[in-house]
A and B are shown apart, each in its own frame.
Chain A
């Protein structure tokens, strides 16, 4: 199920870019949104994040993301 959804979403993403070539900023945001949803599907369906010690799993992911986003924001400005 999750797998099918993932394929579907990346399919749409590729279709958008292949056919339009010129996309608006919003489309770019939608593309990243698609990526995030796909990642969530991975986390919940394949990686069983909601099983034991889930608090620490989320801390690990969100802490890593926080530092990563800070790094990206400050490197690219």
Chain B
């Protein structure tokens, strides 16, 4: 069965019918639930919200939904690869490429980044003692742009086919000649739209952290999560424009027939350079916030100040700086010459130094501490050995002659899953367990949390450790099958079993969310973990304005300092008064809607949609320009007893 969608034929194969049906069923289920619990109005309020923690929670929700999608892709790939010459459903050849590309793209751009940005959104204003980000409206817009991009890339599966050229989308493979159909146009436009959103977020966090810190919180008194966010934002700021240009060129090549990236005319290396000038900082964009989360978590649950604070800050900056100097190590086999390769091999290996400093500092923070094995701490402890393995394979890959063997094999797949899951995803889980009581006012269940941790971590190692060996045995990346005599069958089977174990861990996590929401104790107080930083001085969940009175900070770990010296009381920096908070607005949603329309216009070559979409964006920008003042003035209730803030628990 086929039907035509703007001159593009769409074949209704069984997998697409299943996908369509599941989208339909989920849509109806959500609609019924919303109606049943009478939540339409509050959904509308959330959509309009520009408040940092609400936007952050929306980021987390959306990121998690994409996580499930990306995970499903991963399971499909693992089932297809479990046995030699397997034929699972339709996922061979082009369909397998679609799965693998969507998995990579989704996990990097629509899972890891939004989950981290979500945690930043939630926690940064609390940790630096601010009421909101510097530009709340821009923040909401970033979220909606990211969501539009994510939806574009994900909807492609049922509307014309997903991108097929891998998450790196190398030219000339990604050009019209070798990848016909709308799939890779979804990739260029989806990433472009969400990339703009990410860039705006970075500017927002930079200005917030630089200008909105509470009085007395100098840079060297900031917790390490804001520090890592600051460095990450700088990386985003300088890395994403390169991706913007690369995607622009790819889009022109595919849609308008220019010759930037082809092999015969133009230059395919342009894509590789631009992509990796973006792509390598991207790796650090993913891992640095996780480092920040681990620093805070480890210090809280060891009941010790983080060891070597200033060296932690300096190594963050060094990693950030070196992150821009190493991109050619993805291109060792291109043949840029021995000088280039040597320089970039050395710069790549030198990143191990600041990273090693950080690892040792975490270990020394734990040493002699009063360690509490909470779930968040477990994730942090699981991270350290896992990430070290990933780091070591990273240095192996940086060795140029060896890289000629490792390149594009499963060794690389094993390596980057060790750093991205072992760093970023474990960090995200640690952050979620750590800040959950502050976000929602109840803790996640510890027993289920520990089950989640152990199944996920063990499943992870079972999945990805064999991949190193597969790679050394010569299994290339991005293939959908292999022969029985290749000697890869057992390893692949083990890997598939591990993947299902990770999926089980995720199900436990989902069950934990539901179970805790129903059964967890409601009043966790302001400070459930005996914390050290400013977010634990305000009620859980905090009022809209966070701090009724902005606190005055006198050192690192202000709450811990106050607990030690002043009986937990923190001085306020201002008298209690009316607080101005930003207004809700629906314009960000409309703006991302307009960009989605324009994107569909480009993907399916419909000029009307392009014009309507872009005019819509322009009009909304102008409308915003005339409605950018006005605020909601809130008078917090006065409470004599409070050390800080105006509200009783």
Contact = CB atoms under 8 A, between A and B. Distances in A.
Interface of A: 53, 56, 59-60, 63-64, 66-67, 70-71, 74-75, 77
B238 A64 contact: yes
Contacts of A56: 206, 210
Contact of B273 (A53, A64, A71): A71
A66 B273 CA distance: 15
Given A63-B234, A63-B238, A74 B328 contact: yes
B238 A71 contact: no
Contact of A71 (B211, B269, B277): B277
A67 B274 CA distance: 11
B270 A75 contact: yes
A46 B242 CA distance: 28
B494 to A, nearest CB: 40
Nearest to A74: B273
B324 interface: yes
Contacts of A64: 237-238
5 contacts: A63-B234, A71-B277, A74-B277, A75-B273, A77-B336
Contacts of B274: 71, 75
Given A53-B210, A56-B210, A71 B242 contact: yes
A25 B206 CA distance: 41
Q: What's the dominant secondary structure at chain A's contact region? A: helix
Contacts of B206: 56
A73 to B, nearest CB: 10
Of all A-B residue pairs in the complex, the 5 with the closest CB atoms, nearest first, are A67-B238, A63-B238, A74-B273, A75-B273, A71-B277
Main secondary structure of the interface of B (DSSP, over half): helix
A66 B234 CA distance: 13
A25 to B, nearest CB: 23
Contacts of B210: 53, 56
A70 B277 contact: yes
Interface in B243-281: 269-270, 273-274, 277
Contacts of A70: 277, 324-325
A67 B244 CA distance: 14
A63 B237 contact: yes
A69 B429 CA distance: 38
Interface string B197-212: 0000000001000110
Nearest to A52: B211
Given A53-B210, A56-B210, A74-B328, A67 B242 contact: yes
Given A63-B237, A64-B238, A71-B274, 13 more contacts: A53-B211, A56-B206, A63-B234, A64-B237, A66-B324, A67-B239, A70-B277, A70-B324, A70-B325, A74-B277, A74-B328, A75-B273, A75-B274
Contacts of B237: 60, 63-64
Interface in B275-304: 277
B274 to A, nearest CB: 7
Nearest to B211: A53
A75 B324 CA distance: 15
A62 to B, nearest CB: 10
Contacts of B324: 66-67, 70
Contacts of B277: 67, 70-71, 74
A74 to B, nearest CB: 5
A40 B234 CA distance: 23
Interface string B225-247: 00000000010011100100000
Contacts of A74: 273, 277, 328
A59 B324 CA distance: 15
A72 to B, nearest CB: 10
Contacts of B269: 75
Contacts of B211: 53
Nearest to A60: B237
Nearest to A56: B210
A67 B326 CA distance: 12
Nearest to A59: B234
Contacts of A75: 269-270, 273-274
Contacts of A77: 336
Contacts of A59: 234
Contacts of B270: 75
Contacts of B239: 67
Contacts of A67: 238-239, 242, 277, 324
A60 B211 CA distance: 15
A71 B269 CA distance: 12
B236 to A, nearest CB: 12
Contacts of A63: 234, 237-238
B331 to A, nearest CB: 9
A64 B352 CA distance: 25
B285 to A, nearest CB: 14
From A59, A71, A75, name the one whose CB has the most chain B CB atoms within 10 angstroms.
A71
A77 B234 CA distance: 27
A56 B233 CA distance: 13
Nearest to A71: B277
Contacts of A53: 210-211
A61 to B, nearest CB: 11
A49 to B, nearest CB: 16
Most interface-central of A59, A66, A67 (chain B CB within 10 A): A67
A47 B499 CA distance: 55
A59 to B, nearest CB: 8
A63 B230 CA distance: 14
Contacts of B242: 67, 71
A54 to B, nearest CB: 12
Interface in B497-516: none
Nearest to A75: B273
Question: Which of A56, A66, A74 is packed against the most chain B CB atoms within 10 Å?
Answer: A74
Which one of B238, B269, B325 has the highest number of Cβ atoms from chain A below 10 Å of its Cβ?
Answer: B238
A69 to B, nearest CB: 11
Interface centre among A53, A59, A66, A70 (most CB of B within 10 A): A70
Nearest to A63: B238
A70 B322 CA distance: 13
A12 to B, nearest CB: 32
A59 B600 CA distance: 38
Interface in B324-365: 324-325, 328, 336
A71 B274 CA distance: 7
A70 B242 CA distance: 11
B237 to A, nearest CB: 7
A70 B274 CA distance: 10
A63 B240 CA distance: 13
Nearest to A53: B210
A24 to B, nearest CB: 28
